[in-house]
Structure 1
């Protein structure tokens, strides 16, 4: 299951991780976010132990959404060593996210 990431846990979970971190910035009311949700859940299971896969609800956690300039959702950022290494705005095929993760393992 994808990890619920908040403003309070973002630095520890994402920026200090020794594994690649996939962060889905989403909101409850966002239709495309609901389409992406099952893909994010599948990725979290497939890459368990190899990468961290989490979600940030932008309505409840605005600090890091603002810091990373999230203007449209869903936006998925991939972090490695605390730096953004990949970005996907909008829903993309599952393979797009798999490729992001694979290239950063």
Structure 2
């Protein structure tokens, strides 16, 4: 899993990947974002041949977060060929999906495009 603190252009970040990209917007102060750490590690291991995961601090890249209407945190955006194909967000901590369910949801989204 890759954490991007800064990058030149978001579009280049997406286009440089040969795989679909799951962009996870989070923040250091966000409790649910920290809970996602273990989930994203499992997803990354299970889907490493199918998907690249990139985490972006929504405070450091607030313009990008605003552009994609990121709220609540964490918000996950799935891109394929540079195009947004899916959005996953959970407002409440208890609604965070386990890794198995997230993998299934991502595979469903990828199979539709």
Query: TM bucket by the smaller chain?
Result: 0.7 to 0.9
* Corresponding residue of 2:62: 62
1:12 aligns with 2:17: no
State the 1:102 CA deviation. Answer: 2.0
Higher CA-based Rg? 2
| Separation in 1, partners of 2:39, 2:9 | 23
Higher relative contact order (CA 8 A, sep 6+): 1
TM-score (norm 1): 0.83
- Runs of at least 5 residues in structure 1 that lack an aligned partner in the other structure: none
Give deviations 1:22-64, integer Å, cap 9, x for gaps: 1111001001111111111222222223211110111111222
Q: How many residues align?
A: 104
- Runs of at least 5 residues in structure 2 that lack an aligned partner in the other structure: 91-95
Closer/same/farther in 2, CA of residues 96 and 83 from structure 1, 3 Å limit: farther
Name the structure where helix makes up a greater proportion of residues: 2
